[in-house]
Amino acid sequence: MKSNFVFSAAEDHSHHPFQIGRETESEKLSSSILQNRSKVVAITGPNGTGKTLLWMHFLKTKGIALAEHTEVISLRRPSHAIPSVGSTTKLVVIEDLSYDFTYERSGYISSLLQNHADKQFILVSAFANFIEKFSPNTHIRLEALPHSGSQQFLLAAFDSMLSDFEIAKVADFTKGIPYLMKLVATRLNRRGATIESVLTSLTEDLKYKSIFHEFKQDKNSQKIIQVVSDIRVVNGRLLEAIQRDHNAIHTLTPRQFEEFVAELMEKRGYKVDLTKATRDGGKDLIIANHSDIGDFIFYVECKKHSPTNPVGVNLVRELAGTVLTDRVTAGIMVTSSYFSPDAIKFSNQIKHQLSLINYLKLKEWIKECEK
């Protein structure tokens, strides 16, 4: 099957909720096709990771001028049933390279590449090793969205529909798989649908068993959902800026400082959730650490102070009280300045339940992430 790629250029796809979390891959695809003029670009990854959405998003945003000269070829039909590529075609997208018959089409794909030296190709497949046979100039490999990307995706799609607790629950269920997130969104639009009914129906639907199998469920993940009822996500960009200039920490707003600390913690290997900016108090970040000796929950409070303004003992006591009341493992207070002597003395009395991170320690962490 072959078709021309057609869409309305008037549509605004720049904030499509199902492309959030794929900014890096989207930029890589765009530069490969438009700037580098790569002959062959491969997009591979497990089923449901958004391979087709990625190249479609490119044509609907940065590749608009190229879209009318793009043809999409599906290899589900025999080679003789596929029409020849048009003379005015500039980009050929070959889809359906994720089935058993794909390997039988190696010769057909090779001949297409050889006979159309003036055209560019995007090969889309779940089989990365198979695609490497065609020596792609660029190989974009998709996996499930990382934790922060998954939360961004869901917030954009459901922020006005679902509570934060429900968003956290859907994030845990879908495990960063864009296809499953889209299915949840579609089914929730049906009359009378609830989160519980939608998630149950998807779990029991045999059509999606293979996707669930590819991305095995984390047995410990459900435990954090009970704590993270007010999550918001890390923006993913501040750490890079701070690495270029450590003093830039002092130019951040209090909320940006929270986001920066969250990203720094994620780089250090923790699963981090950033709480609402409108919260009542007690915690800015929640860290979940699952290990073979148990599950640990940490509250992190971030204090963006000027370099000459220390954090006093009262703020440290408040965090300690929240840790005790909520019965979490421990608390961490992070500041862009330093702690008063009284604050340090108090934390030393409960040092197994409270840690203080000052500006100097923050810089050490930043340098470790640069390695």
The answer on 195 and 135 residing in a single domain is no
pTM exceeds 0.85: no
Identity at 132, one-letter amino acid code: E
The pLDDT of residue 20: 56
Q: What is the CATH number of the domain that holds 292?
A: 3.40.1350.10
Answer whether 270's CB lies under 8 Å from 283's CB.
no
Domain ranges, residue 172? 147-217
The answer on 151 and 104 residing in a single domain is no
The answer on 330 and 259 residing in a single domain is yes
- Residue 28 domain-assigned? yes
- Residue 166 domain-assigned? yes
d(CA 228, CA 275): 8
Confidence of residue 267 (pLDDT cuts 50, 70, 90): confident
- Residue 72 domain-assigned? yes
- Residue 226 domain-assigned? no
Q: Structure tokens of 170?
A: 């859907």
- Residue 259 domain-assigned? yes
The answer on 158 and 62 residing in a single domain is no
Mean pLDDT of the chain: 76
In this structure, the strands spanning 294-303 and 285-291 are antiparallel
Give ∠ CA 154-156-159 in degrees, rounded to 5.
Answer: 80
The answer on 365 and 240 residing in a single domain is yes
Answer whether 165's CB lies under 8 Å from 172's CB.
no
pLDDT 10s digits, 39-87: 999 999 887 788 888 898 898 888 888 988 999 887 765 555 566 788 8
Poorest-confidence range of 3-7, 250-254, 308-312? 3-7
Q: 165, 184, 217: which is the final residue of a domain?
A: 217
Q: How many domains does the chain have?
A: 3
The answer on 240 and 189 residing in a single domain is no
pLDDT 10s digits, 133-183: 899 999 999 887 765 556 666 666 665 567 666 776 777 777 777 777 777
Q: What is the CATH number of the domain that holds 62?
A: 3.40.50.300
- Residue 256 domain-assigned? yes
